[in-house]
């Protein structure tokens, strides 16, 4: 077994049945021709293709992380989301404060506490 495929073998063993994409979903994503062309694939060729796919995924992740437009869009979305999150938290705090105040008033009216 080639050295690069040992890594693939270890990866396969670690993942086991916990693959990110289920076999059923993979069948829906992959073209019929890919599935047909690889249904009788040998272990060495399969490991070679897995190794190549993992390298491609690594390169795509690196490229995605270095994509200035994508990173700028993520930052904009994060900033916009922060405004909404802050506004939602403010409204939640108002509700919590007012609920506690109503409870204080109800306790006072029932004679079990005093109001301020």
pLDDT of residue 59: 95
Question: What is the residue-wise DSSP string for the chain?
Answer: --HHHHHHHHHHHHHTT--SS-HHHHHHHS-HHHHHHHTT--HHHHHHHHHHHHHHHHHHHHHHHH-HHHHHHHHHHHHHHHHHHHHHHHHHHHHHHHHHHHHHHHHHHTTSS---
Which residue positions in the chain have pLDDT lower than 50? 1, 17-18
pLDDT of residue 18: 47
pTM attached to this predicted model: 0.54
Give the domain ranges of the chain: 3-66, 69-116
pLDDT of residue 90: 92
């Amino acid at each position: 077994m080639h050295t690069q495929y040992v890594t693939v073998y270890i990866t396969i063993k670690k993942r086991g049945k916990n693959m990110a994409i289920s076999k059923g979903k993979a069948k829906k994503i992959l073209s019929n021709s890919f599935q047909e062309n690889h249904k009788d694939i040998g272990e060495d060729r399969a490991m070679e293709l897995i190794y190549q796919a993992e390298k491609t995924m690594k390169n795509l992740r690196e490229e995605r992380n270095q994509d200035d437009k994508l990173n700028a869009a993520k930052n904009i979305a994060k900033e916009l989301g922060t405004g909404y999150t802050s506004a939602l938290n403010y409204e939640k705090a108002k509700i919590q404060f007012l609920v506690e105040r109503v409870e204080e008033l109800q306790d006072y009216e029932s004679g079990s506490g005093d109001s301020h």
